[in-house]
């Protein structure tokens, strides 16, 4: 392929199917378009990032302050950008990332109701202008997502939140999509996996090839 390496993120509330769809998209792009893919996730993607992930998701640490959580997310992101995302793009690999900065706006901004200005500041500091080319926002009814999580078992620190928290997160995500219509495409996450995958693939084909 002659295309520039692309940075794609997949976002949405817990249980909407992000990890499932990231894996399907990575496989399809690699097999059908011979694109080299770096499949990664946030928080995480590096050794330090995964250690931070286990801290921020630990259900035994429920009393972390909002700012502590926010700074940990950006600490993981700084590491991820410099050790994984930027190097992959510069080698011509496409990056598919399971959650990125939109999740910070949605969870720490919307869910935890932290000041957006702090997130804007940290985004500028850590990303120096690097943003995804395309973001797929998988959207689903909170009730349906929570049911999927119950079927999956185990609960992390975010999944232990009340329904109102997830409603705020979902509303923030939809608000982000309205504010960034050229980057964020909302896709219904409620149909079967294969149907959602086809919708994502057609957006990627249309936008990036």
Ligand X SMILES: Nc1ncnc2c1ncn2[C@@H]1O[C@H](COP(=O)(O)OP(=O)(O)OP(=O)(O)O)[C@@H](O)[C@H]1O
User: Which residues contact ligand X by CB under 6 A?
Assistant: 12, 14-20, 148, 152, 192-193, 196
Closer of 37 and 140 to ligand X (Cβ) = 140
196 binds, among Mg ion, ligand X, none (CB under 5 to 8 A by kind): ligand X
Instruction: Tell me the closest approach of the beta carbon of residue 24 to Mg ion, in angstroms.
Output: 13
Half-sphere exposure at residue 162, Cβ-oriented, CA atoms within 13 angstroms: 2
Q: Which does 152 bind (CB under 5 to 8 A by kind): Mg ion, ligand X, none?
A: ligand X
By beta-carbon proximity to ligand X, the closer residue of 17 and 110 is 17
> Shortest Cβ distance from residue 51 to ligand X (Å)?
18
Segment contacting Mg ion by CB under 5 A, of 18-26, 86-94, 105-113, 139-147: 18-26
From the list ligand X, Mg ion, none, pick the one residue 2 interacts with, judged by a Cβ distance below 5 to 8 Å according to partner type: none
State the binding partner of 16 from Mg ion, ligand X, none, CB within 5 to 8 A by kind: ligand X
Q: Is 19 in the site for Mg ion (CB under 5 A)?
A: yes
Output 5 or 108, the one with its CB closest to Mg ion.
108
Which of the 8 DSSP states describes residue 91? T
Give the residue with the Cβ less far from ligand X, 20 or 30: 20
* Cβ proximity to ligand X, 19 vs 30, nearer residue: 19
Distance between the two ends of the chain, CA-based, in angstroms? Answer: 9
CB 103 within 8 A of CB 138: no
* Alpha-carbon dihedral sign for residues 147, 10, 138, 103: positive
The tokens of 138 are what? 């998988």
Per-position DSSP letters for 128-190, written without gaps between them: TT---SEEEEEE--HHHHHHHHHHH----TTTTS-HHHHHHHHHHHHHHHHH-TTTEEEEE--
Q: Distance from CA of residue 146 to its chain's centroid?
A: 18
Q: Name the minimum Å distance from CB 77 to ligand X.
A: 17
How many whole angstroms from its chain centre is CA 2?
Answer: 26
Q: Quick one: what does residue 93 bind among Mg ion, ligand X, none, with the CB cut-off 5 to 8 Å set by partner type?
A: none
Beta carbons within 10 angstroms of residue 163's beta carbon: 10
Q: Name the residues that contact Mg ion, by CB under 5 A.
A: 18-19
């Amino acid at each position: 392929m002659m295309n520039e390496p692309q940075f794609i993120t997949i976002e949405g509330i817990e249980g909407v199917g992000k990890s499932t769809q990231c894996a399907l998209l990575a496989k399809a792009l690699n097999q059908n378009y011979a694109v080299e893919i770096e499949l990664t996730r946030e928080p995480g993607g590096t050794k330090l990032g995964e250690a931070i992930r286990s801290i921020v998701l630990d259900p035994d640490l429920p009393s972390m302050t909002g700012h502590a959580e926010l700074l940990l997310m950006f600490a993981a992101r700084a590491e991820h950008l410099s050790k994984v995302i930027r190097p992959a793009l510069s080698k011509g690999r496409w990056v598919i990332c399971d959650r990125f900065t939109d999740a910070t706006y949605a969870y720490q901004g919307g869910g935890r109701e932290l000041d957006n200005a702090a997130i804007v500041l940290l985004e500028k500091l850590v990303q120096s202008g690097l943003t995804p080319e395309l973001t797929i926002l998988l959207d689903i009814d909170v009730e349906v997502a929570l049911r999927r999580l119950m079927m999956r078992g185990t609960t992390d620190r975010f999944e232990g939140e009340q329904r109102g928290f997830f409603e705020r997160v979902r509303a923030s995500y939809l608000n982000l999509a309205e504010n960034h219509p050229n980057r964020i495409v909302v896709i219904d996450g409620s149909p079967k996996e294969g149907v959602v995958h086809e919708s994502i693939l057609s957006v990627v084909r249309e936008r990036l090839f």
